[in-house]
Chain A
Amino acid sequence: MKMSNRQFKIMAIGFISVWMAIFAALPLLLTFLLSLFKPSTTQVVVPHLTLHNYVDAFHYLYIRIFLHSMLWAVFTTVLCLVVAYPFAYAMAKMPSKYRALSLLLIMVPFWTSSLIRTYAMMTIIKAKGLLNHCLIALHIIHAPLQILYTPVAVEIGLVYTLLPFMILPLYANLEKFDWRLVEAARDLGATPWTSFSKVVLPVSMPGIVSGVLLVFLPSITLFYIPEVLGGAKSFLLGNLIKYQFLDGSNWPLGAAMSTLLLLFLLLMIGLYRLRHQRKNAGLFV
C-alpha cells in the first residue's frame, strides 16, 4: 500500500493525539469535573454542582495529614540529598572505567520494583530480621528493636526506595562538571570549602532541583510504603486520597483532593521553571 505524505502525516499525528486526548486529558478533566459534584452514598454522581468538596477538603484533619505528608516528603528529600550528593560527587570523580560499573549498579535499583525493594527492607528491619540479629549478636542491644510498623520504618523505606532517583540526576550533572574550575579557584587562593560552595554547588544546582523533584513528588503519593512498613499512624496524603476512592467511597471529595494536589505540584514545577528559564529543563537531566 502506498501512503501519501498527507496520509502519513495524519496517521503519525493522529494516533498519539487521539490516545493522549482520550486516555490522558479526558480522565484528568473528568476528575476535575467530578470534584464539582455533590457526593452521594447511593450513586457516584449526583447532578448538583457545588464547591462543597473543596470546602470539605480543607477540613482541619485533612490539612493536618497534608502538612504531615509535606513534612515527611521534605525530610525524605533532604535525607536523600545529604546521602546522595557526596555519593554522586565521589562517583563523578572516579576513573571512567569504574564509573560505568557504578552507574549500572545505581540503574538496577532505579528500575526494579519499589514494592519488592520495600518488601526486602521489611525483611531486614522486622523484629526477627537481619538487623536485630546482628545488633544482638554484637551485644549492642539485648532485646529486638521494634522498627517495623513505626514512622521510622516508613522513613527508611522512602529513603531506600527513592535514593537512586536523587543520585542519578546529581551524577548526570556532576559528570559534566569541568574540574579545572575547582583547580582555578584553588590556585586563586580559595579554601576547599569555598571552592565547593562557590563553584561546584551553584553549577550542580539543576541536578539538585531535578533530584529534589524526582524524590519529593513520589514521596507524597507512594501509598504502599506507609501501608507495608508503617503502623496506624503512618497515614499520608496518598493513603488519604486512596481511602476516598476505596474504603471511604467519597469519590467527589477524593477528586477534589486529587485536583488540589495536582495544582500544588504544578505550582511547584511552575515556580521552578520560572526560575530556570530553560526550555525542556530536564526532569531526567
Chain B
Amino acid sequence: MKRLWQPAYMSLVFAFLYLPIIVLVVFSFNHTTYSGLWHGFTWTWYKELFQDTDLQTIAYHSLLISTFASTVAVCIGALGAVAVFKYRFIGRQGLHALIMAMIIVPDLIIGIALLLLYHFFDLTLGFFSLLIAHITFCLPFVFVVVYGRIITLDKNLFEAARDLGAEDITIFKKIMLPLLMPAIVAAWFLSFTMSFDDVVISFFVSGPSYQILPLYIFSQVKLGVTPEINALCSMILLITCIAALAGQWFLRKKP
C-alpha cells in the first residue's frame, strides 16, 4: 500500500500537467473546426500555417528578437559575472543586488518601467524597444547561471596563470571561458526560451509595426479558439522544448 501511493500520486500530477498539452497537440491534427471531439487526422492546419505569409513574418520577428537578445545577454551577462567575481570595485554590491532584484521584480513592472523609459526618450516602439527589453530581462538569468558556475571553479587555476605572467584577458579567454562554456551555452538556450515565450513585458514595449508570436497568440486566444492556433502553439512548444532541454543538458554537463 505504502509503495503504491507514491507512483500513483506522481502519475496523477503528471497527468494534470501534461494532459492539456497533449490534447492541444492532438487537436492540432483534428479534422474539424470547432468541435471538441475527434473527427480524424489532418495536416490542414499546419499547411495553412505554412501558407500564412503574415504569420511567417511574425515568426521571423520572434526568432530574430530571441536570437539577438539571448546572444547579447549572454555576452554582457557572462562578462559581468566574471567582473563581479574577479574584481572589487565601487558599487559592486549595488550592482549584484540590482541584478538579483531584477529577477524578483514582476514582469509587469519591468514592462511598465521600460515603457516609461522609451516614452521619456521618445523611442518608437518596435524592433529596438523589444530587443532592449528582452536583453534586460534575460541578463539577470544569464548572470545567475554563469556566476553560479564561476564560484565552483578552482581559484588556484587563475592564481597559477597569473603567477606565470598571464594577463587578465588571457586568463579570461584561455581558462575561464572554456571552463564556463557549458554554463554559457545553457544560459543562451534558457534566455532564448524565456525571450521566445515572453508575453507580459513584450505586451508593453511592442508596437503595431513589429508583432511577435506570443502577442499574436494572446490576441488570437482572446478572440476564440481555432485549430490553426493549436498547430502554431504545438510548433512553438516544440521549439521551446528543444531549447529548454538543450539548456538543461548543458547546465548539467561538467566542464
Which residues of A line the B interface, CB within 8 A? 2-5, 8-9, 11-13, 15-17, 19-20, 23-28, 30-31, 34, 44, 83, 86-87, 90-91, 93-94, 102, 104-124, 126, 128-130, 132-133, 160, 163-164, 213, 217-218, 220-224, 227-228, 238, 241-242, 245, 251, 254-255, 258, 261-262, 265-266, 269, 280, 283-284
Contact residues in A for B168 (Cβ distance below 8 Å): 5, 8-9
In the bound complex, CA of A104 to CA of B241 (Å): 11
Check A163 against B17 for contact (C-beta < 8 Å): yes
Instruction: Pick 26 A–B contacts, CB within 8 A, sort by A.
Output: A15-B80, A16-B80, A16-B83, A17-B80, A19-B135, A19-B136, A20-B99, A27-B114, A107-B248, A109-B18, A112-B193, A113-B199, A115-B217, A119-B221, A120-B20, A120-B21, A126-B36, A128-B36, A217-B106, A218-B106, A218-B107, A221-B107, A223-B200, A224-B200, A261-B106, A262-B109
What distance in Å separates the Cβ of B171 from its nearest Cβ neighbour in chain A? 9
What distance in Å separates the Cβ of A69 from its nearest Cβ neighbour in chain B? 12
- Among the 9-residue stretches B53-61, B116-124, B153-161, the one with 4 or more Cβ atoms under 8 Å from chain A is B116-124
Check B112 against A261 for contact (C-beta < 8 Å): no
Known A87-B10, A115-B214, A222-B200; contact A20-B103, beta-carbon cutoff 8 A:
no
One of A2, A31, A115 near B218 (C-beta < 8 A): A115
Which A residue's beta carbon lies closest to that of B114? A27
In the bound complex, CA of A266 to CA of B35 (Å): 47
One of B9, B35, B203, B241 near A86 (C-beta < 8 A): B9
Return the CB mask of B173-205 against A: 1 if under 8 Å, else 0: 000000000000000001001001101100110
Check A8 against B21 for contact (C-beta < 8 Å): no
What distance in Å separates the Cβ of A121 from its nearest Cβ neighbour in chain B? 5
In the bound complex, CA of A245 to CA of B108 (Å): 11
What distance in Å separates the Cβ of B93 from its nearest Cβ neighbour in chain A? 11
Contact residues in A for B144 (Cβ distance below 8 Å): 284
Question: Nearest 10 pairs between A and B by C-beta?
Answer: A16-B80, A27-B113, A111-B244, A120-B20, A12-B83, A113-B197, A90-B6, A128-B36, A120-B24, A221-B106
Check A124 against B83 for contact (C-beta < 8 Å): no
Interface residues in B, total, Cβ within 8 A: 90
What distance in Å separates the Cβ of A203 from its nearest Cβ neighbour in chain B? 19
Check B98 against A242 for contact (C-beta < 8 Å): no
What distance in Å separates the Cβ of B182 from its nearest Cβ neighbour in chain A? 17
Contact residues in A for B7 (Cβ distance below 8 Å): 90
In the bound complex, CA of A27 to CA of B108 (Å): 13
In the bound complex, CA of A104 to CA of B244 (Å): 10
- Among the 9-residue stretches B44-52, B63-71, B232-240, the one with 4 or more Cβ atoms under 8 Å from chain A is B232-240
In the bound complex, CA of A266 to CA of B104 (Å): 9
What distance in Å separates the Cβ of A136 from its nearest Cβ neighbour in chain B? 11
Check A30 against B9 for contact (C-beta < 8 Å): no
Which B residue's beta carbon lies closest to that of A27? B113
Known A105-B14, A218-B106; contact A19-B197, beta-carbon cutoff 8 A:
no
What distance in Å separates the Cβ of A217 from its nearest Cβ neighbour in chain B? 6
Contact residues in A for B5 (Cβ distance below 8 Å): 90
Known A87-B10, A124-B23; contact A119-B217, beta-carbon cutoff 8 A:
yes
In the bound complex, CA of A124 to CA of B35 (Å): 12
In the bound complex, CA of A160 to CA of B105 (Å): 22
Known A16-B77, A115-B197; contact A126-B240, beta-carbon cutoff 8 A:
no
Contact residues in B for A227 (Cβ distance below 8 Å): 222
What distance in Å separates the Cβ of B68 from its nearest Cβ neighbour in chain A? 14
Return the CB mask of B86-115 against A: 1 if under 8 Å, else 0: 110101000100111111111111101111
> Does residue B1 face the partner (Cβ distance < 8 Å to A)?
no
